[in-house]
Amino acid sequence: MREIIVAAAQMGAIQKAEGRQQVVARMMALMEQAKAADADFIVYPELTLTTFFPRYYMEDQGEVDTWFEAEMPNAATQPLFQRAREYGMAMTFGFAELTPDGHHFNTSVHVDKSGAIVGKYRKVHLPGHGEFDPDRSFQHLEKRYFEPGDLGFPVYRTLGGVFGMCICNDRRWPETYRSMGLQGVEMITLGYNTPSVNSQKSEEGPEKRMFHSDLVMQSGAYQNSTWVVGVAKAGSEDGHPMFGGSIIVNPEGEIVAKAVSEDDELLVHTCDLDDTVFGKQTIFDFARHRRIEHYGRITAQVGVELPPEE
């Protein structure tokens, strides 16, 4: 058995006026609960440190950059890193990254029990749009503020297993999971900020949206025989509702823990990384069953190419 105790730390709303220090205090309160549950690893959401700022249209790059972190750890997050090290707890969280040479990414890091950053991921599938869109009921400007990630889907060895990350919209794409599945991933962690309504289809509400969220994480887990831990930032941020529903999914695609609130809430589950082995050796033994001679389109083509007209 290779058991680790995982704490999925769902966060409630973070208002626009809330500072990083307030948020870090909330993260540390959740870490305290995780410590009481003996957790080895705590997982926080996408863009944990601030409100989901891509909903705001900004033209001034100086203003945009106030939402980004030029260093990690930095003054605001140092206490969190220190506490995690004291507790001997690994952690992952998301933040907006400004690199020394001026690039902007939607990033997550995995910090091991000694406080070292052992994994970094930059969001590949950026949803939304780049310009103000008057036809949407609210904006989603990730394509304006971030560049697509340039690190691919790396995995890394830590906590006695093979780990990887993705971020929010990435969870909807089977390519995300398979890229890590092909590197033997045993646990994928991800955070999300998902509005409760579709800005382009008002009748699509939280039930349907959560169904899709669960569906993609459960199928990604099953089809790659990996644990998936998906953690929401939820609640109403300055009147913009986002659903919760954080889940831990086992390698058979079953939900083993699910959040019930839209607030700060901790889910704890003991995950045995050896539970990934059976699926990887049988129905999803990629080396025996994949037929790559038929998959060329998946990397050769982006959009749909229809067959010729009749």
Q: Which residues are catalytic?
A: 46, 123, 168
> In angstroms, rounded to a whole number, what is the distance separating the alpha carbons of residues 78 and 109?
14
Amino acid at 82: Q
Any contact of residue 193 with ligand CDT (CB under 6 A)?
yes
* Position 108 contacts ligand CDT (CB under 6 A): no
Task: Select 69 or 272, whichever has its Cβ closest to ligand CDT.
Answer: 69
Contact status: 128 vs ligand CDT (CB under 6 A): yes
Among 192, 222, 243, 284, binds ligand CDT (CB under 6 A): 192
Q: Order across the sheet with 247-249: list the strands.
A: 155-158, 161-167, 187-192, 227-232, 247-249, 255-258
Q: Which of residues 49-78 bind ligand CDT (CB under 6 A)?
A: none
Nearest distance from C-beta of residue 53 to ligand CDT, angstroms: 11
244 interacts with ligand CDT by CB under 6 A: no
> Which range of residues in 10-18, 27-35, 153-161, 186-194 is near ligand CDT by CB under 6 A?
186-194
Question: Is residue 184 at the binding interface for ligand CDT, with CB under 6 A as the rule?
Answer: no
Q: What is the DSSP secondary structure assignment for residue 111, as one 8-state letter?
A: E
Least distance in angstroms from the C-beta of 167 to ligand CDT: 7
Instruction: Rank residues 40 and 262 by Cβ distance to ligand CDT and give the closer one.
Output: 262
Q: Cβ 168 to ligand CDT, closest distance in Å?
A: 3
245 binds ligand CDT (CB under 6 A): no
Q: Does 217 bind ligand CDT (CB under 6 A)?
A: no
By CB under 6 A, name the one of 189, 194, 218, 225 that touches ligand CDT. 194
Strand partners, 10: 265
In residues, how long is the chain? 310
Q: Tell me, what amino acid is at 123?
A: K
- Measured CA distances, 78 to 38, 74, 130, 274 (Å): 22, 6, 33, 34
Structural Rg of the chain based on CA atoms: 19
Subset of 129-168 contacting ligand CDT (CB under 6 A): 140, 168
Window of 37-45, 64-72, 187-195, 253-261 that interacts with ligand CDT by CB under 6 A: 187-195
**Closest distance of CB 298 from ligand CDT, Å:** 20
Helices 206-224 and 174-181, axial angle in degrees (round to 10): 20
- What are the Cα distances from residue 275, in Å, to 207, 226, 280, 283, 307? 30, 8, 10, 14, 42
Measured from the CB atom, is 90 or 231 closer to ligand CDT? 231
Q: How far apart are CA 131 and CA 127, in angstroms?
A: 13
The whole-angstrom distance between residue 39's C-alpha and the CA centroid of its chain comes to 19
169 binds ligand CDT (CB under 6 A): yes
B/e letters for 15-31, b = 16+ CB within 10 Å, e = fewer, are eeeeebeebbebbeebb
Q: How many of the other CB atoms lie within 10 Å of CB of 156?
A: 17
Q: What is the closest distance, in whole angstroms, from the C-beta atom of residue 191 to ligand CDT in the complex?
A: 9
- Give contact residues for ligand CDT (rule: CB under 6 A): 46, 127-128, 140, 168-169, 172, 192-194
